[in-house]
Amino acid sequence: MNQARESILRNIRQGCCDGEVVKNLVDDFIVEDFGESLICAFINQLESVAGTVELIPNAKEIPFVVSDFLQVHNLPQKVVIDARLKSLPWPNKLRRVFRAAQAEDVVSVCGAFAGIAETGSVVLLSSSASPTTLNFLPDSHIVILRKEDLVAQIEDVWGRLDSMPRSINIITGPSRTADIEQTLQLGAHGPRRLHVILVDRCV
């Protein structure tokens, strides 16, 4: 194990209350192609493009992590959510709607089909439960990604598809452009924040 990888793993473990959970989460995913875990590769790439990530042990924590994210960023406790996430134990203080995003929506939450470690990208499929507007209209985009849906490279995504949806969005970090006076601007064509919640277990 090289020094850089060990430093990454140590920082991840120290950043979570339950170090053993994160140790198992990280050490289960060693991939020869990367010389490091899929999780470490994904996190490194996502953070390099201004995305953020949080590791949690199970799906039941998702609503509370979402609520905390809103509080940290001084955002209203109101979200538009992928209908597939409706059964989660959402707290009463969080106002939620399950529909396509609209212009006035500030925060969206949706589930990812896959995460790509090579680029730190999330792969989102359109459906009636998860309209594409959730990915682009709100200023802050929260994506739920299961550990088991991490893949090494983009080529690995296509073999996981049972059928082709109307649209597939591969998102790498927040929206950005440097077209305006060569100055980097976030949120030019979509969300200015991309936060990935990486879930160890579904239950």
- Taking only the tens place, the pLDDT of each residue in 73-84 is 999 999 999 999
**pLDDT, averaged across the chain:** 84
Per-residue pLDDT band at 175 (split at 50, 70, 90): low
Show the CA angle centred on residue 101, arms to residues 145 and 45, nearest 5°. Answer: 35
Q: Give the strand pairing for 95-97 and 168-171.
A: unpaired
Per-residue pLDDT band at 70 (split at 50, 70, 90): very high
Domain ranges of the chain: 49-201
The CA-atom distances, in angstroms, between 86 and each of 25, 63, 156 are: 26, 10, 29
Provide the whole-model pTM: 0.78
CATH number, domain 49-201, options 3.40.50.720, 3.40.50.10680, 3.40.50.10420, 3.20.20.210: 3.40.50.10420
Q: State residue 138 phi and psi, 5-degree precision.
A: -65, 155
Q: 65-79, 105-119, 141-155, 161-175: which has the minimum mean pLDDT?
A: 161-175
Give me the pLDDT at residue 18, please.
Answer: 54
Give me the pLDDT at residue 2, please.
Answer: 57
What would the two tokens of residue 154 be? 């983009």
Give me the pLDDT at residue 37, please.
Answer: 87
